[in-house]
Amino acid sequence: MDNKPIILVGNDDGIEARGLKSLIEFLAPMGELYVAAPATHQSAKSSSLTMDTPLRVDRLDDYMGARMFRINGTPVDCTKMALNRLLPRRPDLIVAGINHGANSGSNVIYSGTMGVVFEGCLAGIPSIGFSLLDYRPDADFSACRPIVEQITADVLANGLPTDVCLNVNIPAGTDIKGIKVCRAAHGTWTEEFEQRTDPFGRNYYWITGSYSNTEPDSIDTDLYYLEHGFASVVPCRPDQTALDAIALLASRL
Amino acid sequence: MDNKPIILVGNDDGIEARGLKSLIEFLAPMGELYVAAPATHQSAKSSSLTMDTPLRVDRLDDYMGARMFRINGTPVDCTKMALNRLLPRRPDLIVAGINHGANSGSNVIYSGTMGVVFEGCLAGIPSIGFSLLDYRPDADFSACRPIVEQITADVLANGLPTDVCLNVNIPAGTDIKGIKVCRAAHGTWTEEFEQRTDPFGRNYYWITGSYSNTEPDSIDTDLYYLEHGFASVVPCRPDQTALDAIALLASRL
């Protein structure tokens, strides 16, 4: 029992999210779980931190043996708080999710789920994010179980390369064809800001839009494999330096 | 006059920030400026988006000829709103800053300033972020002028490599030794959460901490050059895929 790995679990959909509960159920047999999750929905919070308001921590009832901490902050606030204040020691693994909806292509940059994962990676802890391509509140997470188990067990046993973390996306439905390790597709949002008028005659805007793969003919990307029924695993680095551009720019500046 | 480039300017310190005003002053002779900036301080907002509240746009008085738009959102909300609703056409350049404080080392991931820059880069527009290593409200931005001018002029004339944007940090003081194109240092935050008790007896926490360079002996990093009096230019990519880790992980999963 004392030798069980400590796994820190987080998410961005909030501590009440069904995807988080499913993740806890899948991981409970694999380690001693600590959950640090936002009090409210925190989608598209990226790696943002709360600087202007103080944070509060509430211990909730355990769930499936997991110690549950609710924090009124962003996903990354929760991770930092857990690492610094809540855990008995440095965790062996950080897992975020299961996100209600895709974090594929270039959307990683907006993702609060991946914010947690990059935070773990920056702290030198093996970290994995899981997302299901199903936004519905009643999404069925059960088919994610073997994917979550296989990848988590592999990372607990073998670790990850230095400064590398994993972004896993899982197609909706039960007919998952397998796992493909690949790169993130390049894509773009076509945004629309829907304009409305409030009861006082002032305009306001809601962001809407659609995401499209700008390299639909590439057969080595996460979007390609997800469209073809596979779970995608994209190894990621927090460091965004474009090493191959240094020499050219140095010759100009 | 009609041939002047259109430059979109943003920041994360808010539309009233002195660093933004200085940037507008430096760029005004170089193009037709549109400013889309947050109504309030938005430090450490990373690439986060506002999903739960509607956005409002207020046109303020022009400043140095620049059209000023104040938006009640995050830095990236402002950029998206400008690209989709406020500009007469696609801009030739996006510039963010001048940030009050460093965005060096691994702190790029938390930066709202660099959120704007990555957003521009994802849209295929040459984008540059400028930060001054001086957090003080009365920081002197005047010494940044030749750096901003040189780099902006170069990018307007020559563009940037595909999917690459620039993160520029400038040391405080007037004795800037030159410009170095380099990689981001790896570093780590030692966080402390300062615990206090409110008048009602409940605990709350403020995040504090200190950042340290975990590779102080490396002489090719932004933190090294900044410590030695140079402005640092780190070429960055929004895509965080660790291409070199794909083969190894594919052999395991």
Q: Select the residue from A12, A46, A57, A214 to test the B interface by mutation, using most B Cβ atoms within 10 A.
A: A46
Whether the ω angle into residue A179 lies within 30 degrees of 0, i.e. cis, is no
Q: What pLDDT was estimated at residue A136?
A: 84
What is the percentage of chain A residues whose pLDDT exceeds 90?
92
Q: Tell me, yes or no, if A250 comes closer than 8 A to chain B by beta carbon.
A: yes
Q: Say if the Cβ atoms of A85 and B181 lie within 8 Å.
A: no
**How many Cβ pairs within 8 Å bridge chains A and B?**
211
Chain B 187-216, CB below 8 Å of chain A: which residues? 188, 191-193, 196, 202-207
Question: Is residue B97 within 8 Å of residue B113, measured between CB atoms?
Answer: yes
Band (A1; pLDDT cuts 50, 70, 90): very low
Q: Do B161 and A85 touch (CB under 8 A)?
A: no
Mark B46-55 as b/e (b = at least 16 C-beta within 10 Å).
bbbbbeeebb
* Nearest CB to A183; choose among B183, B203, B246: B246
Residue B20: HSE in the Cβ half-sphere, 13 Å Cα cutoff: 27
Q: How many residues does chain A have?
A: 253
B185 within 8 A of B224, measured Cβ to Cβ: yes
Q: How far is A248 from chain B (nearest CA, A)?
A: 9
Q: What is the DSSP string of B104-170?
A: -GGGGGG-HHHHHHHHHHHTT--EEEEEES---TT---GGGHHHHHHHHHHHHHH---TT-EEEEEE
Q: What's the per-residue H, E or C state across chain A?
A: CCCCCEEEEECCCCCCCHHHHHHHHHHHHHCEEEEEEECCCCCCCCCCCCCCCCECEEEEEEECCEEEEEECCCHHHHHHHHHHHHCCCCCCEEEEEEEECCCCHHHHHHCHHHHHHHHHHHCCCCEEEEEECCCCCCCCCHHHHHHHHHHHHHHHHHCCCCCCEEEEEECCCCCCCCEEECECCCEEEEEEEEEEECCCCCEEEEEEEEEEECCCCCCCEHHHHHHCCCEEEEEECCCCECHHHHHHHHHHC
Contacts of A13 in chain B (CB under 8 A): none
Interchain CB contact of B54 with A (< 8 Å) = yes
Chain A contact present for B108, CB below 8 A? yes
Instruction: Average the pLDDT over B26-50 and give the result.
Output: 96
Instruction: Give the tens place of pLDDT for each residue, A164-184.
Output: 999 999 999 989 999 999 999
Residues within 8 A of A (CB atoms), B 152-191 only:
154, 158, 160-161, 163-164, 166, 179-184, 186, 188, 191
Contact with chain B for residue A228, Cβ under 8 A = no
Residue A58: pLDDT over 70:
yes
Nearest to B206 among A46, A54, A236 (CB): A54
User: Nearest by CB to B233, which of A158, A236, A249?
Assistant: A249
What is the pLDDT confidence band of residue A220, given thresholds at 50, 70 and 90? very high
A244 confidence band (pLDDT: 50, 70, 90): very high
Q: If you measure CA to CA, which chain B residue comes closest to A151?
A: B253
To the nearest whole percent, how much of chain B has pLDDT over 90? 92
> Do A202 and B56 make contact, defined as CB atoms within 8 angstroms?
yes
The answer on pLDDT for B1 being more than 60 is no
Chain A residues 16-35 with CB within 8 Å of chain B: none
Percentage of chain A exceeding pLDDT 70: 99
Chain A interface includes B39 (CB < 8 A): no
pLDDT of B2 over the 60 cut: no
Q: Is the pLDDT of residue B222 over 80?
A: yes
Is residue B23 predicted with pLDDT exceeding 80? Answer: yes
Strand pairing partners for B204?
B196
Write out chain B residues lying below 8 Å of A48, CB-based: 44-46, 48, 74, 110, 112
The pLDDT tens digits of the residues spanning B103-115 come to 999 999 999 999 9
CA distance A29 to chain B (A): 20
Instruction: Report cis status (omega within 30 of 0) of the bond before B98.
Output: yes
Q: At CA B134, angle to CA B133 and CA B135, rounded to 5?
A: 120
Name every chain B residue with its beta carbon within 8 A of the beta carbon of A230.
Answer: none
Using CA coordinates, name the residue in chain A closest to B181.
Answer: A250
Distance CA A168, CA A23 (A): 13
Question: Does A245 sit within 8 Å of B161, measured CB to CB?
Answer: yes
Confidence class for position B167, pLDDT limits 50, 70, 90: very high
Q: Do A80 and B191 touch (CB under 8 A)?
A: yes
Closest CA to B45 of B134, B137, B119, B114: B114
